[in-house]
A and B are shown apart, each in its own frame.
Chain A
């Protein structure tokens, strides 16, 4: 079974600075998807960014980018120019290419933005 590990329960960053959230995963598959979800205090799960394992190029969405290291099974999220609205829980998730596209989540990292 696949597992996802986020080793940073909490992180904080100054507004306008850059922060990197870590995620590692374990799988024997070669084809899969990885995701970062944001969960603000409203509880709504918001997709931030996705990465297809077969793509070598790291995904980027505006101020959000990932560092995908397939051999190391590492998938970190970099947030540039941090804004107060980025404060939230962030979850890393894995989805297999097989079966019913079930998501396996990490434990989450709570990100605080200091003004």
Chain B
């Protein structure tokens, strides 16, 4: 049981390049989330999904797209990276229901130069 995994762990992009971050969970969770963490700002929600084939915008969705084609995977895409997207990205997942906690992946550090 690996929990929540993220690929890659580190990445450096040039402005304008594109990339996809992969989040995978093996706990059969319905809900999945993408957050970004910036110094002095805590974690902020980018996009989330309440089930396979569904996605919704969070607090800071601009410049990102997501897809949830399979229940266990949640992909975060940057079509044209900008320096403002330099951040640490966390994926999380949970069962529906208030009693259930969110489980976080180890994070991806992305630098855009």
Contact = CB atoms under 8 A, between A and B. Distances in A.
Nearest to A107: B42
Interface stretch (A44-52, A55-63, A67-75, A76-84): A44-52
Contacts of A102: 33, 45, 48, 58
A97 B44 contact: no
Contacts of A100: 31, 48, 50, 56
A4 to B, nearest CB: 8
Interface majority SS on B: helix, strand, loop or mixed?
A: strand
A103 B40 contact: no
A9 B40 contact: yes
Contacts of B90: 45
B43 interface: yes
Contacts of B92: 45, 103
B88 interface: yes
A102 B48 CA distance: 8
Contacts of B72: none
B96 to A, nearest CB: 7
A36 to B, nearest CB: 12
Contacts of B48: 100, 102
9 contacts: A44-B107, A50-B101, A52-B98, A91-B43, A100-B56, A103-B33, A103-B43, A105-B35, A105-B42
Interface of B: 31, 33, 35, 40-45, 48, 50, 56, 58, 88, 90, 92, 94, 96, 98, 100-102, 104, 106-107
